[in-house]
Amino acid sequence: MVVAVLLMGGAAVWGQLPANGQGWTHYGGDAGGMRYSTAAQITRGNVNQLKPVWSFHTHALDVARTGSDDASFEATPILFHDVLYFTTAFDVVFALDARTGQQRWTFDPKVGELTAGGMVASRGVALWESPVALPAGQCSRRVVFGTLDARLLAIDADTGAPCAGFGAGGAVDLKKDVYFQNFGFYELTSAPTIVGNVVVVGSSVGDNQQVDAESGLVRAYDVTTGTQLWSWEPLPWARQNHPRTGAGNTWSTISADAALGLVYLPTGSAAVDYYGGLRPGDNRDANSIVALDVHTGKKVWAFQVVHHDLWDYDIASEPVLFPFRDGTPAVAVTTKMGMVFVFDRRNGTPLYSIDEKAVPQSDVPGEVTSATQPISSLPPLAPLLPNLTNDYDGWHRSWWNQMVCRVKLAGVRDSGLYTPPSLRGSLLYPGNLGGVNWGGAAFDPTTGMLYANTNRAAYISELIPQHGFYLLWHEVWEPQLTDWPVWIILALGILAMNILYHYEERRVRGGSGPRHPWLPSLRALIWAMAVAAVAAPMCFVPREQFVSHFGHELSPDRKAPYRILRDPLVDSDKRMCIAPPWGVVSALNLNTGKLAWQSPLGSMVAGEKTGMMNFGGPIVTASGLIFTAAAEDPYLRAFDAASGAELWRGKLPVPAQATPMTYSLDGRQYVVISAGGHADVKDRRGDSLVAFALDQN
């Protein structure tokens, strides 16, 4: 009887709340991911008076465990009544008093052993509330979240106790029916999406691990029982390929329109990312915005933003559902290329025109590139072509670094946007980090302005034959030559052989020869010193890491004829070889289709507006403020939404690679950010959730 009532009680369910108001009910603020708040106590006039009012430490990194070196605190809390809910990188859930930051409860799902090199992050949770009162202990309010070991859990929002009636003991195993490969990289890193009593989840599939990686299956479950309601396979054609093509998964946040009964999936690329010879065709529904009926899982419409992806240009950001200028229900898709696509979200009709344009073709044996790619008529949030000059707004690259960049670019193929990877190396720009990454965009429905953080990073992508000299060197010889005991044994061997030679010489000569045969000769000492001189740089200069999320990468790409070798195009100071700004906040007016402004986000050079790499997104408030952190420096910033001027920045314990949120309680507005640094910058990591507010009168 209770279940029947729940299934009928749609309008009052949390997953269907339309507007965010002055709270923050979903990871993206509201179910459509607008990241907009009507909270307006903090204004342009008083934002410079913001100060930290409380902070909370998760202690996630206090104890060494597998995955600690790869962990990043990327969560955005959500607010229910006066409680904040969020997860650590290891999926530990916390409930805090939203006024004081005091802990109400915590729940540890006990994630199992993690594989080194994976993406250890959890960006948030979803909340559900029953429209009718349930008996005590039946979880009438639930926190629903996914884990790094591929489970979907439901816990009581009041106590943190598992909801026993959900799945098996409060958990559903998501490794079933996905061709699970046990690489250790099949996981959930984004918050689930709830519409009525339906929980929809995608998955994260390890990039460039194997051609027949896990399926990108999207599934829906009953929020009360954990019963699977439907599943949708993004690559139904994949089973015809040999080997089967994996991935095409939805790893980012899924948006929802409860009134239309649709969920909007941002899908990723098919495996493997940089070689598509084993997955011919356009790879339909990979790299796409896909609208599914939330009740049946049937596809209603879809649009592919990249055909036959060879650049890791998956849609990384949550689709933004917003009212278009004439009231049309619309969806905006921000991309790693920096392009923005806008559609009528009812049927997929483009609201700004899209043209198919010819693009460079591959010269790699077995690869057949798409002849064209879709190009949006809206101005891109980041340039589609790199600026390889050495000067910008008073900043000048040194002559040495100019030479370093020229050497790196020598012989590299650069045919413009969508230059495919090659055997000699190709310029990859925009890079696979964006453009816009998982931080997504914010939208102000009162002005029609879309705001997003973008990266401007170039890479060199080179396909390496699986059985060539390069891999023999790096996987067999180099590990031996960078192992210092090998060199010690070699040096001692030289000295030992010399001493043995001295003793043998005395024996042959009847006792004549070196007076002290136990001493090595000067020549032997010189040879041993030469060995030490070679060993020092081989052993003690840090080696490049071969699986890096953002830097140097040499991936396994099992069952493909090639591996991808990818390197950031940087000078000796680790600055991009393209001209700054390297990280930017952009404002695009979706009413007019014109770029309003762009402002550098952070700086890599003191006193210069160079911008810097960023991971995390912006939010916008009714008082005309944009709040964002995301950059590699330890600040939360406020920008003027109308002009892009930086109005304020607040110091954080460490950089915050996360998206902030805001809410009002008792007339006081708070801005909250997860400050945990990033796994790639291990000397600046932390575990703080920090709240800023104005002083109370």
pLDDT tens figures, 617-653 = 999 999 999 999 999 999 999 999 999 999 999 999 9
* Non-local CB neighbours of 655 within 8 Å, separated by 6+ positions: 629, 631, 632, 633, 634, 675, 677, 678, 681, 684
Distance CA 456, CA 385 (A): 10
Return the bridge partners of 428, or none: 459
48 is written with which tokens?
């410079």
Average pLDDT over residues 561-567: 93
Q: Is 681 helix (H, G, I), strand (E, B) or coil?
A: coil
Residues pairing with 154 in the sheet: 144
Give exposure, 438-472, as e/b (b: 16+ Cβ within 10 Å). Answer: bbbbbbbeebbbbbbbbbbbbbbbbbbeeeeeeee
What letter does residue 504 receive in the DSSP assignment? H
In this predicted structure, what is the pLDDT of residue 552?
Answer: 80
φ/ψ region of 101 (left if φ > 0, alpha if ψ in -120 to 50, else beta) reads left
Say if residues 485 and 617 touch (Cβ distance below 8 Å): no
**DSSP category for residue 69:** G
Helix segments in 519-570, DSSP class H? 522-540
- Of 441-445, 530-534, 551-555, 607-611, least confident by mean pLDDT is 530-534
Average pLDDT, whole number, for the chain?
Answer: 90
Q: Does residue 20 have a pLDDT over 90?
A: no
DSSP state of 439: T
Task: Report the amino acid identity of residue 20.
Answer: N
Stretch 418-426: mean pLDDT: 97
- Domain extents for the chain? 21-469+568-693
Q: Sign of dihedral through CA atoms 644, 649, 655, 660?
A: negative
Give the model's pLDDT for residue 11. Answer: 34
Whether 98 and 104 have beta carbons less than 8 Å apart is answered as no
Token look-up 């949550």 returns 318
How far, CA to CA in Å, does 604 sit from each of 564, 608, 642?
Answer: 28, 8, 25
Write the CATH number of the domain with boundaries 21-469+568-693: 2.140.10.10
Torsion of CA 348, 353, 356, 359, to 10 degrees: -120
Residue 174: name the closest of 157, 153, 196, 143 by CA: 153
4 confidence band (pLDDT: 50, 70, 90): very low
Q: Is 378 helix (H, G, I), strand (E, B) or coil?
A: coil
How much of the chain, in percent, has pLDDT values that exceed 70? 89
Q: Give 471 or 292, the one with higher predicted confidence.
A: 292
The structure tokens listed for 594 are 């014109």
Using DSSP's 3-state secondary structure scheme, residue 691 falls into strand
* Token pair for 34: 């607008």
pLDDT > 90: percent of the chain = 74
Q: For residue 12, what pLDDT is reported?
A: 33
C-alpha to C-alpha distance for 620 and 497, rounded to whole angstroms: 73
The answer on pLDDT for 22 being more than 90 is no
- What does the alpha-carbon distance between residue 614 and residue 454 come to, in Å, rounded to a whole number? 7
Within 13 Å of residue 343, how many CA atoms lie on the same side as its CB?
22
Q: How large is the average pLDDT for residues 390-402?
A: 80
- Annotate 400-459 with DSSP letters as a single string: HHHHHHHHHHTT-B--STTPPPBSS-EEE-SBTTBSS-TT-EEEETTTTEEEEEEE---E
Element (H, E) at 463: strand 459-465
Nearest CA to 552 among 72, 67, 186, 117?
Answer: 117
Question: What is the tens place of the pLDDT at every residue in 185-222?
Answer: 899 999 999 999 999 999 999 999 999 999 999 999 99
- Residue 280 amino acid letter: P
What's the whole-number mean pLDDT along residues 672-692? 87
What is the rounded distance in angstroms from the CA atom of residue 31 to the CA atom of residue 8? 20
Place of tokens 């005309």: 624
pLDDT single digits (tens) 528-537: 777 776 766 6
The C-alpha torsion from 297 through 302 and 307 to 310, rounded to 10°, is -50
What are the tens digits of pLDDT across the range 92-147?
999 999 999 999 999 999 998 888 777 899 999 999 999 888 777 789 999 999 99
- 484: Cβ contacts below 8 Å, ≥ 6 apart: 535, 539, 540
* pLDDT tens column, 491-504: 777 778 877 777 77
* Geometric angle at alpha carbon 28, from 658 and 185, rounded to 5°: 60
Instruction: Tell me the residue length of the chain.
Output: 697
Q: What is the pLDDT of residues 430-485, one digit of tens each?
A: 999 989 999 999 999 999 999 999 999 999 999 999 987 776 666 666 666 666 67
Residue 1 pLDDT more than 50?
no
| 250 to 193, 212, 253, 278, 589: CA distances (angstroms) | 12, 17, 8, 21, 28
Q: Which of 321, 378, 363 is nearest to 346 (CA)?
A: 321
Residue 452 to residue 441: CA distance in whole angstroms: 4
For the residues of 386-405, what is the DSSP string, one character each? ----SEETTEE--HHHHHHH
Q: Which of 173, 263, 293 is nearest to 226 (CA)?
A: 173
Write down the pLDDT at residue 136.
76
> What pLDDT, on a 0 to 100 scale, did the predictor assign at position 543?
52
Q: How far is CA 648 from CA 42, 189, 381, in A?
A: 12, 31, 23
Cis amide leading into 290 (omega within 30) = no
Residue range 163-169: average pLDDT?
93
CB neighbourhood size of 402 (10 A): 14
pTM (predicted TM-score): 0.90
pLDDT number for residue 473: 65
Give the pLDDT of residue 545. Answer: 47
Q: What residues does 55 pair with on adjacent strands? A: 690
So what's the pLDDT on residue 463?
95
pLDDT of 361 reads: 98
The greatest distance separating any two alpha carbons of the chain, rounded to the nearest whole angstrom, comes to 107
pLDDT of amino acid 554:
85
Cα–Cα distance measured from residue 321 to residue 329, given in angstroms and rounded to the nearest whole number: 7
- Whole-angstrom Cα distance, residue 191 to residue 195? 13
| Residue bearing tokens 């046990």 | 182
Is residue 372 pLDDT above 80, yes or no? yes
Give the phi and the psi of residue 208 in degrees, each rounded to 5: 55, 35
Q: What are phi and psi of 506, to 5 degrees?
A: -65, -40
Please answer whether residues 88 and 76 qualify as being in contact, where contact means their C-beta atoms are separated by less than 8 angstroms: no
Q: Report the amino acid identity of residue 446.
A: T
Banded pLDDT at 69 (limits 50, 70, 90): confident
If one compares 387 and 361, the residue with the highest pLDDT of the two is 361
Residue at 39: amino acid letter? A
